[in-house]
């Protein structure tokens, strides 16, 4: 019997990407689609690439509309999910693509998001140590932020293997869809095209505590993270350049071995052959993650670089992958590692 799934936030970028994936998922039947300011609109007017759903009309986001489904995806601005989720029954699988339930530390939440902490749900990055076990059979999933997905996958093997000192430096470039559909002055075409620019500099970006949480868990001790996001003139993709000082006695060989071991059985993470480097174009529209790692002997640092599609593995693909695990389906059901090129 098909799994009925509702999508709240179906007019947004994350909701649209999720629907693109759910339309080809063999176990899913798409139920209610909701919006906010666009409630009452045809989906075809908002997401013209989702042809099979073009005549569906967006409903309002409320528990009456979202109830009665097996799975409810919340692709809402952060801070909006908790109120909706608490009105959905404990038997419904709720997958929050926003930030509301990602952080364990309430003080971190309050500092970076400026509101009361709603709680903590099993974290939807299955590749992290112990994450799959927490997702199996769960009725609540917190999908990670896009930058923490890219950065945590790039660096956790170094920490889990005890190869890196407890400070990491992460500089990541994101495509503009990471900022959502709502118009923003710094995202006007003429501001973004042909230029790269940093933002959220100096430890203030809200994804910093999420990276600290993930890398600290892998290390088994606190890790400090200096994170600098940058905006790149492309619609999709994240390239994260991550480094950490190596512990004494680390060698290029020990680093390579740790990464090979960490990703040997992963269906979506591809540790590239030595000499080949990740590129956002190679993972466009796919749930794949490309990773390469190097040991800089002169600086005594481990350098790990990852590329993801922020809307696929960074949001909607990660959500579907975690949903599959929670439902007991094969983790890769409905997902592809095949990209679009050029
Ligand atoms: N874009 C990305 O790469 C990533 C996004 N995410 C997260 O996914 C979530 C959605 O992001 P994204 O799709 O980019 O954002 P968009 O701005 O593109 O879409 C937001 C969606 O939420 C709806 N919405 C807005 N306000 C409310 C409200 N008060 N109540 C109910 N629905 C509301 C909008 O409806 P309407 O259009 O009808 O007003 C729209 O469907 C966010 O939490 C975001 O942080 C996570 C990882 C990466
Ligand atoms: C380019 C850009 O603006 N990116 C977004 C991150 C997108 C994301 O992952 O957002 P959530 O944590 O809210 O899910 C930002 O830096 O705010």
Which residue ranges make up each domain of the chain? 3-144+313-327, 147-310
Query: What is the pLDDT at residue 85?
Result: 96
196 has a pLDDT exceeding 90 = yes
CA–CA gap between residue 332 and residue 221 (Å, rounded): 32
Query: What is the pLDDT at residue 66?
Result: 97
Q: Under 8 Å CB-to-CB from 104, ≥6 apart: which residues? A: 120, 213
pLDDT interval class at 192 (50, 70, 90): confident
Q: Are the CB atoms for 326 and 180 separated by under 8 Å?
A: no
Residue among 36, 61, 62, 287 whose CB has most ligand 1 atoms within 8 A, to mutate: 36
- Collapsing DSSP to helix, strand or coil, 272 comes out as coil
pLDDT interval class at 118 (50, 70, 90): very high
Q: Are the CB atoms for 314 and 210 separated by under 8 Å?
A: no
Which atom of ligand 1 is found nearest the CA of 38? Answer: 38
Q: Under 8 Å CB-to-CB from 299, ≥6 apart: which residues? A: none
- Mean pLDDT (the chain) is 97
Ligand 1 centroid from CA 34, angstroms: 11
Neighbours of 226 (CB within 10 A): 14
Ligand 2 centroid from CA 47, angstroms: 20
Average pLDDT rounded to a whole number, residues 169-175 = 98
1 has a pLDDT exceeding 80 = no
Which atom of ligand 2 is found nearest the CA of 210? Answer: 12
Query: What is the pLDDT at residue 283?
Result: 98
Query: What is the pLDDT at residue 225?
Result: 98
| Bridge-based pairing state of the strands 3-8 and 28-35 | parallel
State the catalytic residues: 146
Say which residue, 185 or 140, is predicted with more confidence. 140
Does the ipTM surpass 0.85? yes
Which atom of ligand 2 is found nearest the CA of 229? Answer: 16
**What number does CATH give the domain 147-310?**
3.30.360.10
182 has a pLDDT exceeding 90 = no
Query: What is the pLDDT at residue 51?
Result: 98
Neighbours of 340 (CB within 10 A): 11
Percentage of residues of the chain with pLDDT beyond 90: 96
Which atom of ligand 2 is found nearest the CA of 148? Answer: 9
Nearest CA to ligand 1 atom 4: 178
**CATH architecture assigned to 3-144+313-327:** 3-Layer(aba) Sandwich (3.40)
Which ligand has the minimum distance to the alpha carbon of residue 16? 1
CA–CA gap between residue 159 and residue 213 (Å, rounded): 12
Say if ligand 1 is within 6 A of residue 123 CB.
Answer: no
pTM as predicted? 0.97
- Collapsing DSSP to helix, strand or coil, 226 comes out as strand
pLDDT interval class at 17 (50, 70, 90): very high
pLDDT interval class at 184 (50, 70, 90): confident
Ligand 1 centroid from CA 13, angstroms: 7
189 has a pLDDT exceeding 90 = no
190 has a pLDDT exceeding 90 = no
Average pLDDT rounded to a whole number, residues 252-272 = 98
Say if ligand 1 is within 6 A of residue 38 CB.
Answer: yes
pLDDT tens readout for residues 274-328 = 999 999 999 999 999 999 999 999 999 999 999 999 999 999 999 999 999 999 9
Query: What is the pLDDT at residue 193?
Result: 87
């Amino acid at each position: 019997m098909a799994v009925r799934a509702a999508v709240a936030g179906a007019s947004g970028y994350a909701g649209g990407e999720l629907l693109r994936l759910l339309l080809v998922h063999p176990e899913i039947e798409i139920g209610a689609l909701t919006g906010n300011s666009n409630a009452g609109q045809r989906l075809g007017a908002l997401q013209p690439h989702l042809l099979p759903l073009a005549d569906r009309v967006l409903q309002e986001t409320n528990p009456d509309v979202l109830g009665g489904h097996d799975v409810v995806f919340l692709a809402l601005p952060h801070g909006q999910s908790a109120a909706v989720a608490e009105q959905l029954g404990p038997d419904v699988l709720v997958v929050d693509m926003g930030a509301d339930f990602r952080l364990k530390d309430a003080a971190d939440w309050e500092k970076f998001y400026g509101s009361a902490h709603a709680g903590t749900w099993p974290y939807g990055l299955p590749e992290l140590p112990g994450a799959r076990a927490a997702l199996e059979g769960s009725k609540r999933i917190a999908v990670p932020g896009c930058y923490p997905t890219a950065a945590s996958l790039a660096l956790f093997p170094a920490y889990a293997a005890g190869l890196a000192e407890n400070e990491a430096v992460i500089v990541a470039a994101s495509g503009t869809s990471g900022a959502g559909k709502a118009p923003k002055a710094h995202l006007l075409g003429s501001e973004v095209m042909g230029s790269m620019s940093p933002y959220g500099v100096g430890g203030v970006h809200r994804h910093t505590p999420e990276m600290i949480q993930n890398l600290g868990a892998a290390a088994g001790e606190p890790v400090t993270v200096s994170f600098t996001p940058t905006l790149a003139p492309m619609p999709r993709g994240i390239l994260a350049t991550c480094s950490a000082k190596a512990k004494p006695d680390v060698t290029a060989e020990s680093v390579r071995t740790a990464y090979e071991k960490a990703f040997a059985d992963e269906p979506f993470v591809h540790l590239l052959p030595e000499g080949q480097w990740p590129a956002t174009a190679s993972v466009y529209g796919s749930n794949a993650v490309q990773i390469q790692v190097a040991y800089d002997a002169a600086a005594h640092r481990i350098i790990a670089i990852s590329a993801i599609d922020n809307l696929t593995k960074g949001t909607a693909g990660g959500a579907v992958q975690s949903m599959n695990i929670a439902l007991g389906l094969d983790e890769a059901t409905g997902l592809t590692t095949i990209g679009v090129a050029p």
